[in-house]
Amino acid sequence: MTISVRARESYDVGIICALDVERTAVEAILDEEHERLPKVAGDDNVYTFGRIGKRNVVVACLPAGVMGKVSATAVAKDMMRSFSIKFGLTVGTCSGVWSEQKDIRLGDVVVSQPDGMHGGVVQWDYGKMEKDGVFRRTGVLNKPPRSILNAVQSLKSKHRLKGSAIEQHLQNAFVRYPLLKDEFGYPEQRNDELFQSNYNHAGGDTCDSCDRSKIVKRLPDRGHKRPKVHYGNIASGDEVMGDALTRDRIAKEEGILCFEMHAAGLMDTFPCIVIRGVCDYADSHKNERWQPYAALTAACYAKELLGIMDQDAVEDSQTSRFRVPFSLEGFSRAYHFVPRADNMGLLEALLQSSDDETPCRQ
């Protein structure tokens, strides 16, 4: 059922997807769908409006066939200009990295969370080539807003005590949209195959010709269909990761749980958290069979996360706590700024304490 139009200012949560299958998954878990609002001049996005829990959300997708972080940045900027977005989610699929320490399987969900020196997202293909061909990644991207990270902590506790609601949200989506189950249903565990890192795809559209003796034996078998949620660093870049040896090397160096192609364009301009469903293993054995289901598990986690967020506990923006208005007009943006803790502490104290309303520059 479509609900009558709401005021533009009531939409304060933005959700960005990269693919149409990911957008479909998000639309399937909306509690309500609202009528569209008139477009703002200069905004090229096409939006879906609705409600999840107590929050009104606006959903946008990257243009067909135009992938990567630059496209994601353009979508986010138009959304931020058209709506008073307090925080966002980027929801979609990814290529997972299995290890004995992190038993990541197809259909699982990966959520960006600060870990080590990273804020939850690592731009794996940005850096400089040093002596002897050593590539060193440089720069640190923003971490998710504090309000979302607090909600993540609360949801972790809830999952330990009562389990995840992802499966229930999946079933509710299939009841509401029966046609969805044929494409977005669980592909069965026998279709989850991880090949050894040094064994490449034998050719063809499927792995029917690949050597089954090269499949990694992962024990114990879970014995259930419930997606597991993993938290940590997500690698983002403009290239598809399809080489297992490179995957393993970068994952070990940076503590990576999965690879994707869009989040690096959002973290410094769009206050958000990254939620990804695992649809393959970032190797030459591509498996699109899991993509719809993985998109839906990510969307169901997003629904559960939004469901526990207090309407009044969300920060308006990263700068909402500052009392001194300031402007960076005329200055070029530093996309890989590394702050010094003592300098940032002093700057924040000055911005918070002054009552002077004269705009200043930093």
* Length in residues, the chain: 362
Return the pLDDT at 224: 83
Convert the pLDDT of each residue in 320-347 to its tens digit.
444 444 444 455 555 455 666 566 666 6
Give the phi and the psi of residue 73 in degrees, each rounded to 5: -60, -45
Q: Which two tokens stand for residue 104?
A: 């990541």
Convert the pLDDT of each residue in 151-180 to its tens digit.
999 999 999 999 999 999 999 999 999 999
Q: Which two tokens stand for residue 308?
A: 């526990």
Would you call the peptide bond into 220 cis, given omega within 30 degrees of 0 as the criterion?
A: yes
Written as tens digits, the pLDDT of the chain (362 aa) is: 567 668 899 999 999 999 999 999 999 999 999 999 999 999 999 999 999 999 999 999 999 989 888 999 999 999 999 999 999 999 999 999 999 999 999 999 999 999 988 999 999 877 665 655 566 666 678 999 999 999 999 999 999 999 999 999 999 999 999 999 999 999 988 889 999 999 999 888 889 899 999 999 998 778 788 999 999 999 999 889 999 999 999 999 999 999 999 999 999 989 999 999 999 999 999 778 999 999 999 999 999 999 998 655 554 444 344 444 444 445 555 545 566 656 666 665 565 544 444 444 44
Q: Which two tokens stand for residue 278?
A: 């695992």
- Rounded Cα gap, residues 167 and 173, in angstroms: 10
Q: Which two tokens stand for residue 258?
A: 């999965």
Domains and CATH numbers, the chain: 2-307 (3.40.50.1580), 327-362 (no CATH)
Other Cβ atoms closer than 10 A to 319 = 11
Q: Which residue has the tokens 């005021």?
A: 7
Residue 94: burial class (beta carbons within 10 Å; 0-12, 13-18, 19+): buried
